[in-house]
Structure 1
């Protein structure tokens, strides 16, 4: 079966199947050497359905692999441990929400056309994209010399809306699929504070219409067009991010690990060590080796040719990990001296490039 037919049978998206192939969890039985098309066998359906069910339950991929390929006793222990974590997380969330509701009740509730291009996007989806991309913009000190690095590039090309930000050490790109694109391709630079304010406004709308024209950009309420929010344009030339992405060589090594666990370990390293952290990968382990303190080990799924240890500034890598979606994070390495690509297993439309540093320096 081709990937589309198999995807419909097992209830997984083709993009998810490609991701599970990259991770070695569910490789196809055959890949066409000329076209790259993947083909699956009926005998793989049960494994694919089990993967889908565990992912729907929010299980990290490292745990999924233990259930798939471990003993029955090990699988039961992993599943039971996941249920305990889910219950604890749900209880913590319930307590937090109840406290917020009490605070709101005490405060009386929360405060509340021309040439170019336009695109209609879900308000929450747009706000989420801004949350992911904006942290990659430069801090005020850098912006004094390079003002455009304090902006987010918004691109409309008729098929996608892309948000891009960079501070020279990382590059974040999020692509959105609008429900009704129209007009010519265009781009605009918007200051991060202006975009964050607009994202907070869009979050309360079911849909937002992004309009880009000669004078700047505007967000309109998809259900009430008279309600809008202006986005002033910033003059300048944004770095050619496409050239950076196109220049990356083929991926040699992939690491999938628990996103929350990696984030917590990086935060601990950043607070304690204050220097670079070296990433080492083994067959089923990701090891963080900070300067001047003990190593941290995390369960991981590692595939591809091994790469030498790579050092990162934890303060740069941590936001890239935190900006992801879902329980897992995927790190893709091409070379120890080239940027690592940080992706979300559950959201292929968002990725971040993070530059490595020298092991004896936090700045590179």
Structure 2
């Protein structure tokens, strides 16, 4: 029996979005919802969101065909990962909601069922709407930044941002580091991250340049493509003296 149509999407686009957003999931005892992908569907768009409480990634897609009605639910992340290969090889995927799950309908492949999770998803809309104003904005080459992060020897990384560059150093190294050419506006600042928080947020950004919108040394940082804003990640810093 067919379910409620919540979106028809291009398979390769949906597969990429699922993989990008699922990097922000986590497995924590008693919080199964953090391992899921939250879906919000309307006639105009379908939004995919995941969070591990230190990162929040969200991507909005325009459906090839609109939803029959608005729908929201959190889908099991492991079920979606198992379906990604089939999704990517399908020209179009119909996403249908049924009680306790969704069906991914693919014309040339076997349909895939993914469970929905009963727990409520964190109120990410409230958090996004209540973000402080951006105080510093940095635009930098994504490949350059990733290369330096990959070679960084410490599990923590400090970004020192000035007018014309971003210096990357270890927390205990106050006077040296690796200067990277960047375009920066706003206040100079230092901010510290866990490598496991910052690296995935940068690596999943779309496009050759990544933009960081910072809100002081202790506020969440918005990381997205400099020229395409449909994938956005929030990354939480840690205290400089952590």
Corresponding residue for residue 277 of structure 1: 157
Corresponding residue for residue 315 of structure 1: 196
Residue 215 of structure 1: how far off its partner (Å): 3.5
| Distance in 2 between residues matched to 1:182 and 1:153, nearest whole Å | 16
Residue 282 of structure 1: how far off its partner (Å): 1.7
Corresponding residue for residue 166 of structure 1: 51
Corresponding residue for residue 145 of structure 2: 262
Residue 115 of structure 1: how far off its partner (Å): 5.5
Which structure 1 residue ranges, 5 or more long, are not aligned?
1-112
Corresponding residue for residue 110 of structure 1: none
| Distance in 2 between residues matched to 1:130 and 1:185, nearest whole Å | 20
Residue 114 of structure 1: how far off its partner (Å): 4.8
Pairwise mapping of residues 172-321 of structure 1 onto structure 2 (< 5 A)?
Answer: 172-221=57-106, 223-224=107-108, 227-269=110-152, 272-274=153-155, 276-292=156-172, 294-303=176-185, 305-321=186-202
Change (3 A) 1:208 1:114: closer
Contact 1:328–1:345 (8 Å) recurs in 2: yes
TM-score, normalised by the number of residues in structure 1: 0.63
Greater relative contact order (Cα < 8 A, sep 6+)? 2
Per-residue CA shift, 1:31-84, capped at 9, x if unaligned? xxxxxxxxxxxxxxxxxxxxxxxxxxxxxxxxxxxxxxxxxxxxxxxxxxxxxx
Change (3 A) 1:122 1:115: closer
Structure with bigger gyration radius: 1
Residue 307 of structure 1: how far off its partner (Å): 4.0
Contact 2:210–2:223 (8 Å) recurs in 1: yes
Contact 2:41–2:71 (8 Å) recurs in 1: yes
Is residue 2:4 matched to residue 1:116?
Answer: yes
Contact 2:87–2:93 (8 Å) recurs in 1: yes
Corresponding residue for residue 39 of structure 1: none
Corresponding residue for residue 349 of structure 1: 230
Pairwise mapping of residues 93-112 of structure 1 onto structure 2 (< 5 A)?
Answer: none
| Distance in 2 between residues matched to 1:241 and 1:307, nearest whole Å | 28
Corresponding residue for residue 14 of structure 2: 126
**Secondary structure at the residue paired with 2:219?**
coil
* Aligned mate of 2:36, from 143, 151, 157: 151
Contact 1:218–1:230 (8 Å) recurs in 2: yes
Which structure 2 residue ranges, 5 or more long, are not aligned?
none
| Distance in 2 between residues matched to 1:351 and 1:191, nearest whole Å | 21
Contact 2:149–2:199 (8 Å) recurs in 1: yes
Per-residue CA shift, 1:118-140, capped at 9, x if unaligned? 211110000100111001001x3
Contact 1:329–1:342 (8 Å) recurs in 2: yes
Contact 2:162–2:189 (8 Å) recurs in 1: no
Is residue 2:219 matched to residue 1:334?
Answer: no
TM-score, normalised by the number of residues in structure 2: 0.93
